[in-house]
Each structure stands twice: as structure tokens, then as C-alpha cells.
């Protein structure tokens, strides 16, 4: 089961910036009411996107340096990083759908890059993943474990 792990000034570089997966970082503080509202949504997303994204939480009272570096002026703020770069920001206690669309946007970018490189994994209409495998000048798609009809 995936969880939202804490990240601090000392672990920021290794956990967030050096991550091979995209990373969602929740900036919050224990006294923040809206942060307590959004955190359960982020926990749900961490379970849904386990293995595709990493999820971390920064306590801005304990790690103000990270918040200052990224210009965090309001909490909760969610930042999405990919390849060590900030790619998106969501400010405030927003609905889960807003967070999901931001995550999906970053995920699609990764899939488009893989497709350009000649490798990708997609989800078919039936919700089963299939892989696009380059064959000569054409692509052949198969469901994992069974042939696509």
C-alpha cells in the first residue's frame, strides 16, 4: 500500500529531484485546516498511482527552506516534479478531480515521450494494458497476455 512519505531539507535532493518517476509533493503544516482536508485525497491518489508516481509531504514549519526555494506562499500547495524540474502547481484545497487531471497531464507527457522513442504502454477500452511494439515501419499492439482483437 502506497503512502505519502515525509520529505525534509536533507532528503529533498535524493527523494524528489533525483527520482526516476514523476513526484507529487504536498506542502502543508499541521495547523492548516485546508491541508487536513486535501491530505486524504492525496493519500487516495498515492494508492491509485503507486508505481507510476511518488508522493511526498513537506511540513513547511519544519522545512521552510524548500518552501522558500519554490515560492510557496500559501498552503496547501501541491507541486509536481519530473526529472528534477517543477512541472505543475496546484494551490489550495481543490477537488480530487483537479489533482487527478494534473497528474494525468504529466503522465500523458511521459507516455508521449515513450511513444516518440518507439515504446509505450496504453490502456485499452476494456481497461487492460497493452503495449505498442514497433515492428518494421508499423506498430503492432497486443494486450499483455492476450492478443488484441
pLDDT of res. 105: 83
Q: Which residue has the cell 503512502?
A: 3
Chain segment 47-62, per-residue pLDDT in tens: 999 999 999 999 999 9
Catalytic residue among 4, 35, 45, 99: 35
Identified catalytic residue from 32, 45, 58, 80: 32
Res 3: pLDDT: 87
Q: Which domains, and CATH codes, for the chain?
A: 5-117 (3.40.30.10), 118-149 (no CATH)
pLDDT digits (tens, 9 = 90+) for 9-63: 999 999 999 999 999 999 999 999 999 999 999 999 999 999 999 999 999 999 9
More confident site: 142 or 34: 34
pLDDT band at 102; cut points 50, 70, 90: confident
What is the structure's pLDDT at 113? 59
pLDDT tens track for 70-89:
999 999 999 999 999 999 99
66 noted as active-site residue: no
| 140, pLDDT greater than 70 | no
52 is catalytic: no
Amino acid at each position: 500500500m502506497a503512502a505519502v512519505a515525509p520529505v525534509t531539507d536533507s532528503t529533498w535532493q535524493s527523494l524528489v529531484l533525483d527520482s526516476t518517476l514523476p513526484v507529487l509533493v504536498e506542502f502543508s503544516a499541521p495547523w492548516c485546516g485546508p491541508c487536513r482536508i486535501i491530505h486524504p485525497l492525496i493519500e487516495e491518489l498515492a494508492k491509485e498511482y503507486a508505481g507510476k508516481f511518488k508522493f511526498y509531504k513537506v511540513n513547511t514549519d519544519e522545512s521552510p527552506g524548500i518552501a522558500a526555494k519554490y515560492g510557496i506562499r500559501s498552503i496547501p500547495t501541491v507541486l509536481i516534479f519530473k526529472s528534477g524540474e517543477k512541472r505543475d502547481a496546484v494551490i489550495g484545497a481543490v477537488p480530487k478531480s483537479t489533482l487527478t487531471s494534473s497528474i494525468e497531464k504529466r503522465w500523458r507527457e511521459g507516455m508521449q515521450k515513450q511513444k516518440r522513442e518507439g515504446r509505450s504502454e496504453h490502456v485499452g477500452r476494456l481497461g487492460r494494458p497493452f503495449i505498442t511494439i514497433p515492428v518494421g515501419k508499423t506498430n503492432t499492439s497486443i494486450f499483455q497476455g492476450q492478443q488484441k482483437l
